[in-house]
Each structure stands twice: as structure tokens, then as C-alpha cells.
Amino acid sequence: MKVLTFSEMRKGLPTKKTDRFMIDSEVLFRRLLVVSKQRDVSLESVLKHELAAVQPSLFHDDGTMRKCSKSDLAKKLEATCDEVPCLTTGPSTAYVVDGMALLQNLKDTQFTTFDDLGHCVLRRLKVILDGSLSVGAIAIAFDRYDIPNSIKQLERQRRGEESGATFDIKGGRTVPNYRKFLKNSANKASLAVFVSEFILLRKEFLIGGQKLIIAGGFVDGCMTKCINESTVSDLTDLFSSHEEADTRMVLHAIHFSERYDRVVIRSDDTDVMVLLLYYANSAMLKSSVYMEAGHNTQSTNRRRYVPISTIAATVG
């Protein structure tokens, strides 16, 4: 067994694929102290700045970003108001959902082929539309994976999403190991396109003025389409270069809030909650807004509706 020395354990800042620029923050600090004794250097002035190559509160010494527990913030925000276990029928309601989260929540026991998977998605959407909330419109926002030098690249590498086999998706083809399949970013992008096109060809499931908006799930990631029971049209006003579904969901929540009395955003993401609170406090979300979070299982009931408008009024 090879025993690592302390210098080998010290991570470095990558400059090239083959080189690492080693910066030891402790050594840097000691050298500055020595210099301050030999020269007329104000320690008070020096110590006003971070004595590190990168900001330690946000990054590790090798430049990788620190992970934090954002869910703690969500719990604190939720604690400022009473929990809403269910919503009543009545107000006109629109619903916003993260497309990739919807796909990841599918159970692989429910489908065999990609066509089967597409029908599973349609059934999920139909449950929302025909449920007790009388939803009149749904917006599905997908993440984009076609942006070079993405700020999400490092996070995807950390998750192992840049590895694994890439599959050619066709309707009658058997879905491979679903969890491994979704670990590859190229597979996710292809699946989003397949599901979006699958829905466009089966718009007859929308009845009585129901609408479905799909954003980011096409070869052109900026594109947004609106579907009803008879037509498919481009929503050019909602074309967007947003990379993440989080921000694109908020865009559609703002759009819906001008047309519906109530908007429900299905998400467990703290980032989405904070964004919604910001826009609610900025008076850009004009209707009553709720974030549907949590899940129901056979033994627990954690599904709840977080009243964004109420929290924004309380927290400010």
C-alpha cells in the first residue's frame, strides 16, 4: 500500500490537463508573515484580504466549489408560515413542472420501451390536468445540455454525468438500465427531445381548452411551444437562453401569474423557492403562488404546498 505524504494529499489548482499549480494557503500565510517582518508592510492592510488562491468560504484549495446544505434554508423559510397540506378547488390554476425531475421520478417497472415511457409521461400530465385543482395549463421546463463551457460542467462531472454509454433513442427500442441511462447528459438531452416530440404528436389528450407549454425540450433549446387539442404554436415571447430549468420555471410562473388566479410550481429545490420569493417580493408574480414539495409514500405523507406569497409578505 502506497502511503501518501502531506504534500501529496494537498490538492492543487488545475491549470492544464497535465499540470497542477500547487498553492498551499498555510505556506502562503507564513511567507507573508516573514515578509512583513523584513519589510515595511502593514499587516492590517494585508489581512483585509483572503490569504488564499480562492475564497475559502466558497471554494476548496483545488478550485472546486464547496457544497452546502441549501435545504436548511428552505426549512427556515417554511417555518415562517403555516403548512398547507392541500389546496381547495376554485381559482383558475396553472401548473409548472421541472421536466427532467418528472422523468427521473418515473419507475422503470412502469415501461419497457421508450414509447411506453412516453405514455407514462402523458398519464402523469393527465393526472395533473384532471385532478382536484382543475388545472387549465401546464408548463414543462427542461434543463439544457447543449451549452459549451457550461457553468454546470463541474457539477455534472462530480455527479458522473459525463461518463457512460450514449444511446440512440427510438420509440420501439427497449429502454436500457434507466438509472445508468440518466447518468449521461447526452442521454438526458435526447430523452427530453424524444418526450417533447412524443407529446406534440398526441395533443388530443388535451380537452376543453387545456394547454401545455414545453420549454427547452427541443433540438433548439431556446424554443418554447404551446399545445392545445387542435394546434401547436411557437411562443416566441417565451423563447429563452436559460440553461437551467430552475430559472425557466420561474419565467413561466411569472407568465402564468398574469393569466391565472393561482400558480403551483412542483419542485423540492431551494433555489426555485428563493427565486420565487424574490419575484413575489418584486410584485412580478401577480397571483397567488404555491410551491408543491415533498412526496407521498405508503408510510408517510410529506406532500405539502408552500405559500410563496405568504412567506414573501412575512420575510420581505
H-assigned helices in the chain: 6-9, 25-38, 43-46, 71-78, 99-104, 114-129, 153-159, 178-181, 185-200, 245-257, 270-281, 308-315
The residues near 183 (Cβ < 8 Å, ≥ 6 apart) are: 159, 160, 161, 163, 164
Among 85-89, 134-138, 273-277, whose mean pLDDT is lowest?
85-89
Among 45-49, 218-222, 239-243, whose mean pLDDT is lowest?
45-49
What is the grid cell recorded at 220? Answer: 433548439
Q: What is the pLDDT of residues 93-152, one digit of tens each?
A: 999 999 999 999 999 999 999 999 999 999 999 999 998 888 999 999 999 988 777 766
Total-model pTM: 0.77
Per-residue model confidence (pLDDT) at position 270: 93
Per-residue model confidence (pLDDT) at position 107: 92
Predicted confidence (pLDDT) at residue 52 exceeds the cutoff of 90? no
Domain 72-315 has CATH 3.40.1350: no
Predicted confidence (pLDDT) at residue 15 exceeds the cutoff of 70? no
Tell me the C-alpha distance between 292 and 303, whole Å: 7
Q: Where are the domains of the chain?
A: 1-66, 72-315
- H/E/C letters for each residue in 153-219? HHHHHHHCCCCCCCCCCCCCCECCCHHHHCCCHHHHHHHHHHHHHHHHCCHHHCCCCCEEEEECCCC
